[in-house]
Amino acid sequence: MPLDRRTLIATSLAALAAGTASAADLPAEGRLTVAQLRARYMTPADRLVTLGGVEVRYRDEGRGQPILLLHGSQSTLETWDGVADVLKRNCRVIRFDLPPMGLSGSISEASKATLTGPDDLMIGFLDHLKIKDVVAVGVSSGGTMAYYLAAGHPDRVKAVVLSNCPSEPLDRLGLVPSPEITAANARIKATGLQDKAWWRTYLTWLYGDPARITDKKIQVSYDMGRRGVEPNMVHLLALAGNGDETAKRLKAVKAPTLIIWGMRDPVLPPKVGTDLRGRLTGVIPSMVALEDVGHYPPIEVPERFAAIVETYLTQVLPG
């Protein structure tokens, strides 16, 4: 059955206005298993590693300074395809599907006890790849993961790039879905399935320029969403719902930090970016505003995003 607004706020920035159904509630013809998704979307560049009993799909490309790219909720590592194509020319670019999203496996109760949170997963992933330290780059709730990692493990993070991520619990923002999203949610309640028309409406709402939405993006989002919501869906997400913990983590970030903000974001408007910058009291963050971009800058303007990251890293990292 559709999730209520309180659950949506807790589980997903990107799904804030969505009526996501559980896997059990999806109509049989709408479901795709992890195996079916892997058959469609695994590429020769993809690998699987088991961390704490959970299969994690990842990519490891390029050579040089390691950069860890962290996607948002209701997303996959494909979020970073355009950015990775640029950065991997001079850097080692690593990214994964946060379980249980994308092509990564489900999280069992046993795995939940082993991987107690996102820090465990990220550190386990870096240890598997024998990577000492990274530049952590995250968008949406992936940005929350990036500053959680930088705060909790300062020896493993050389610099941080945050894009359109929360600085406090979302239920304090008073967000209101657009009329188009509300109508689309009402339509899918009968089927329990986010159809392609829903995804087009949803992405149109999130994008600064809807002309940048591609049919491929809609198809991938639709297919990945057909996996449904699983048990322990948000266990490994770094959530801003705990205001005290979020404030503590933000204050603890000491690594050089860049904020890249899509100014047309209907979920996290510019004032959230300003608030985020003010809460990073352990550093003096740089900030770049993208006036024509919405909630997902790495997807909308990947080449521009990558160029900004490259320029910043030449300034803050040793040559």
- Transcribe 33-46 into DSSP letters: -HHHHHHHH--TTE
Give the closest residue to 13 by CA, choosing from 224, 280, 272. Answer: 272
> Rounded distance, CA 263 to CA 207, Å?
10
Q: Is 161 helix (H, G, I), strand (E, B) or coil?
A: strand
Residue % of the chain over a pLDDT of 90: 73
- For residue 57, which of 87, 108, 19, 97 has the smallest C-alpha distance? 97
CA–CA dist 271, 315 (Å, integer)? 26
The domain segmentation of the chain, as residue ranges, is 5-314
**pLDDT exceeds 60 at position 19:** no
Q: Where do runs of H (alpha helix) occur along the chain?
A: 5-11, 34-41, 81-87, 109-114, 118-128, 141-152, 179-188, 196-206, 215-225, 243-252, 270-279, 297-300, 302-316
What's the rounded Cα separation, in Å, for the pair 194 and 76? 17
- CATH: 3.40.35.10, 3.40.50.1820, 3.30.413.10, 3.60.21.10. Which one for 5-314? 3.40.50.1820
pLDDT tens track for 138-168: 999 999 999 999 999 999 999 999 999 999 8
- At residue 193 the predicted structure's pLDDT band, cuts being 50, 70 and 90, is confident
Mean pLDDT, the chain, integer: 89
Judged by average pLDDT, the poorest of 16-25, 60-69, 108-117 is 16-25
Separation CA 45–CA 42 (nearest Å): 8
Assigned token pair, 243: 């205001």
Residue 189's pLDDT band, with cuts at 50, 70 and 90, is confident
Contact assessment for residue 225 and residue 258, using Cβ atoms and an 8 Å cutoff: no
In this structure, of 96-105, 178-187, 250-259, the range with the lowest mean pLDDT score is: 178-187
In the chain, the percentage of residues whose pLDDT exceeds 70 is 89
Please give the structure tokens belonging to residue 65.
């300074």
Q: At residue 10, does pLDDT exceed 50?
A: no
Query: Model pTM?
Result: 0.91
pLDDT higher than threshold 60 for residue 50: yes
Region 170-197: mean pLDDT is 79
Short-list 259, 223, 214, CA closest to 82? 214
From residue 22, how far is each of 11, 168, 177, 192, 220 by CA, in Å? 13, 27, 21, 8, 19
The pLDDT, as a whole number, for residue 229 is 75
Check whether 22 has a pLDDT greater than 60.
no
Per residue in 254-307, pLDDT (tens digit) is 999 999 999 999 999 999 999 999 999 999 999 999 999 999 999 999 999 999
What pLDDT does 186 receive? 84
Query: What are 210-242's pLDDT values in tens digits?
Result: 999 999 999 999 999 898 778 898 899 888 778
Is 108 exposed, middle or buried, given 0-12, 13-18 or 19+ CB atoms closer than 10 A?
A: middle
The C-alpha atoms of residue 106 and residue 84 are separated, in whole angstroms, by 26
Secondary structure tally for the chain: helices H, strands E: 13, 8
Average pLDDT on 106-125 reads 94
- Asked if residues 56 and 103 have their Cβ atoms less than 8 Å apart, the reply is no
CA distance 217 to 199: 9
The amino acid at 2: P
What's the order of all strands across the beta sheet hosting 134-139? 46-51, 54-61, 91-96, 65-70, 134-139, 157-163, 257-262, 286-290
> What would the two tokens of residue 278 be?
């003010």
The answer to whether residue 68 scores a pLDDT higher than 70 is yes
